[in-house]
Amino acid sequence: MSTDTLVDFDEVLTRYEPVIGLETHVELGTASKMFCGCSTTFGAEPNTQTCPTCLGLPGSLPVANEMAIESTIRIGLALGCRIATWCRFARKNYFYPDIPKGFQTTQYDEPLCTAGHLDVEVDGETYRVEIERVHLEEDTGKNLHVGGATGRIHGADHSLIDYNRAGIPLVEIVTRPILGAGAKAPEVAKAYVTELREILLALGVSEVRMEQGNLRSDVNTSIAPIGSLEWGTRTETKNVNSLRSVERAVRFEMRRQAAVLDGGGTITQETRHFHEDSGTTSPGRSKEEATDYRYFPEPDLVPVAPDEEWVEKLRATLPELPAARRARLSDEWGITPTEMAWLVNAGAVELVSETVAAGASPADARKWWLGELARRANDAGTDLAELAITPAQVAQLIGLISAGTINDQLARQALDGVLAGEGDPAAVVQARGLAVMGESDELVAAVDAAIEGNPDVAEKVRGGKVQAIGALVGAVMKTTRGKADAATVKRMLEERLTAG
């Protein structure tokens, strides 16, 4: 569907109420796969991390990875879930070449964790997202479609399969329908995935690298006329692989569905695919018959029965969760929740915290990460964390400023050097000769030259227009190529022009 047939987002909200839901798959960061000892390292040559079990060879059997079970329980605990006292794996039977056994080993009606919640904040308002379930399953292999355009399945001549990913432990986190978010629905969806990602990082259960597919969200969206007692038909948008796309996918689906309904049409319950490039969704191939997965309890695995002692032992391993940590840091740094929200959105909480730990003041650390460094990341089109500078280096830079060795402008030049790989800020300052000039002969000469070169301005200052001195400071800074300390320059000018 081309964008021009979409309903304007604000207009959608005048007539419709959205309901959203998210199913998020997270690849756990275990060393070995869910049911065999193959490595999970990303990026290996195809089919080099496979064995009889994860290839589904005849006769092979699964044995569950204890760490994966424990990680799932810890995720459940972090989300305030109830942990099952007894549950089983199930077989989900269907034919697809990326599942090596003809079924996926997953959990069906007995998930490990149920009934949790996650509070997310959007524009100062808190939304409680109810978690329906957290369960453990195995990832599929990867299909590479050959012969068609851009590796897509449609028009492909044949496909090639790599089972390295098959059997990597995958946790599925399913929300209950999120109601009442209205215009904020797209942002709530994004905030939920963002916060979930923070929690997973804090727990250390996954690297959560979205570009490597460690975290993948399926986004369910429906809209219904305002005041309607029934929910609309929902679509499930797959393939949403960045935080920004989660928001875009919800926004697009709301606008598309509104256009369909406005035109008198009905929404088809279907799977849709998100296209990162255009920000649009398109329908998956509709199935001739409803899939019947024929779930039944996996006879090759015995039930998992976490007793209280085990669960409490795992609960004791939970780190301070991101929300609590943010509250504590806001307090320590003396900032408002809104200011903290900026840091979160910029992905800078950790960076600022580490910079403070390395000796910088919270205010300076925030100023540099949210200011100059955020600008640089934006220009380079990367995340803050991807910049080639460490929090320790930022702290050193700030230290150099506080000591008066450099000023802000010189610091920016020092930054160029650090980012170019020239070493720590101190080394760059040294090598590039960036230190602030003292009250040297050179500076005295520059000040005198500025007065001589701008007699009108000098006259104004002498006549009492003190603010005009800025132009003279600027002139000195220019001749010294920013190496002078502006305050020193101003004092020297004042001594010459207003004394006596």
Partner 1 sequence: MTTSDVTGMTVPELQAALQDGATAAGIAEAYLDRIAATDGTLGSYLHVDREAALERAAAVDASGNAGTGLAGIPVALKDVVVTAGVPTTSGSRILEGWKPPYDATVAARLKAADTVLLGKTNMDEFAMGSSTENSAYGVTRNPWDPERIPGGSSGGSSAAVAGGLAPWAIGTDTGGSIRQPAALTGLVGHKPTYGSVSRYGLIAFSSSLDQAGPMARTVLDAALLHEAIGGHDPLDSTSIDAPLPVLAECARRGADGDLSGLTIGVVRELGGEGHTDGYEQGVLDRFTEAVALLESLGAQVREVSCPAFDLALPAYYLIAPSEASSNLSRFDGVRYGLRVGDDGARDLDEVMALTREQGFGAEVKRRIILGTYALSSGYYEAYYGQAQKVRTLISRDFNAAFDAEGTGVDVLVSPTTPTVAFPLGSRVDDPVAMYAADLCTLPASLAGVPAISVPCGLSDGLPVGFQIMAPALADDRCYRVAAALEAAQDAARGSRFLDQLPSRVAEGAA
Partner 2 sequence: MEFHPSMSTLSRKDVAHLARLSRLAVTDEELDLYAGQLSAVLDAVAQVQKAPVEDVPPTTHAVPMTNVFREDAVRPSLPPEVVLAGAPAAEDGRFRVPRILGEEA
Binding-site ranges for partner 2 (CB under 8 A): 30-32, 36-39, 45-52, 55, 63-69, 86, 88, 95-98, 140, 142-147, 152-154, 156-163, 238-239, 271, 273, 284-285, 287-289, 292, 297, 299, 301-306
Q: Does 139 bind Mg ion (CB under 5 A)?
A: no
160 vs 420 by CB, closer to partner 2: 160
What is the CA angle 312-315-316, rounded to 5?
90
145 vs 325 by CB, closer to partner 1: 145
Q: Does 161 bind partner 1 (CB under 8 A)?
A: yes
CA distance 272 to 284: 5
Cβ atoms within 10 Å of 351's Cβ, excluding its own: 24
Least separation in angstroms between residue 111's CB and partner 2 is 16
- With the C-alpha atoms ordered 57, 63, 64, 66, is the resulting torsion angle positive or negative? negative
CA distance 324 to 479: 50
Q: Does 166 bind Zn ion (CB under 5 A)?
A: no
Least separation in angstroms between residue 393's CB and partner 1 is 48
User: What interhelical angle do 349-357 and 322-333 show, nearest 10?
Assistant: 50
294 binds, among partner 1, Zn ion, Mg ion, none (CB under 5 to 8 A by kind): partner 1
Least separation in angstroms between residue 88's CB and partner 1 is 12
Least separation in angstroms between residue 158's CB and partner 1 is 8
Q: Which member of 39, 93, 241, 430 binds partner 1 (CB under 8 A)?
A: 93
197 binds, among partner 2, Mg ion, partner 1, none (CB under 5 to 8 A by kind): none
Q: Is the distance from CB of 198 to CB of 43 less than 8 angstroms?
A: no
Least separation in angstroms between residue 152's CB and partner 2 is 7
Beta strands in 182-312 (DSSP E): 215-225, 235-240, 271-275, 280-283, 296-297
One-character DSSP codes across 275-332? ETTTTEEEEPPPPSS------EE-TTSPPB---HHHHHHHHTTPPPPHHHHHHHHHHH
Q: Is the distance from CB of 306 to CB of 81 less than 8 angstroms?
A: no
163 vs 368 by CB, closer to Zn ion: 163
Contact string (CB under 5 A) for Zn ion, positions 52-71, x = contact: -xx-----------------
Least separation in angstroms between residue 49's CB and Mg ion is 21
Token pair belonging to 179? 């109601």
Neighbour-count burial of 51, counting CB atoms closer than 10 A to its CB (0-12 exposed, 13-18 middle, 19+ buried): middle
87 vs 493 by CB, closer to partner 1: 87
Least separation in angstroms between residue 59's CB and partner 2 is 13
Q: Does 323 bind Zn ion (CB under 5 A)?
A: no
Token pair belonging to 449? 């030259």
CA distance 235 to 256: 11
Tokens 């209950």 -> residue? 176
Give me the residues paired with residue 142 across strands. Answer: 162
51 vs 471 by CB, closer to partner 2: 51
Closest by CA position to 74, among listed 350, 318, 376: 318
In total, the chain counts a number of residues equal to 500
The CA-to-CA distance between both ends of the chain, in Å, stands at 77
Q: Is the distance from CB of 499 to CB of 450 less than 8 angstroms?
A: no
151 vs 182 by CB, closer to partner 2: 151
287 binds, among Zn ion, partner 1, partner 2, none (CB under 5 to 8 A by kind): partner 2
Token pair belonging to 279? 């920000």
54 binds, among partner 1, Mg ion, Zn ion, none (CB under 5 to 8 A by kind): Zn ion
83 binds, among partner 1, Mg ion, Zn ion, none (CB under 5 to 8 A by kind): none
Token pair belonging to 53? 């079990």
Q: Is the distance from CB of 396 to CB of 426 less than 8 angstroms?
A: yes
Q: Which of residues 31-90 bind partner 1 (CB under 8 A)?
A: 52, 55-64
Q: Does 10 bind partner 1 (CB under 8 A)?
A: no
Tokens 């960045």 -> residue? 242
59 binds, among Mg ion, partner 2, partner 1, none (CB under 5 to 8 A by kind): partner 1
Least separation in angstroms between residue 35's CB and partner 1 is 9
Tokens 């199930």 -> residue? 90
302 vs 305 by CB, closer to partner 1: 302
Q: Does 172 bind Mg ion (CB under 5 A)?
A: yes
324 binds, among partner 2, Zn ion, Mg ion, none (CB under 5 to 8 A by kind): none
Least separation in angstroms between residue 33's CB and Zn ion is 5
39 vs 454 by CB, closer to partner 2: 39
Interacting residue ranges for Mg ion, rule: CB under 5 A: 172
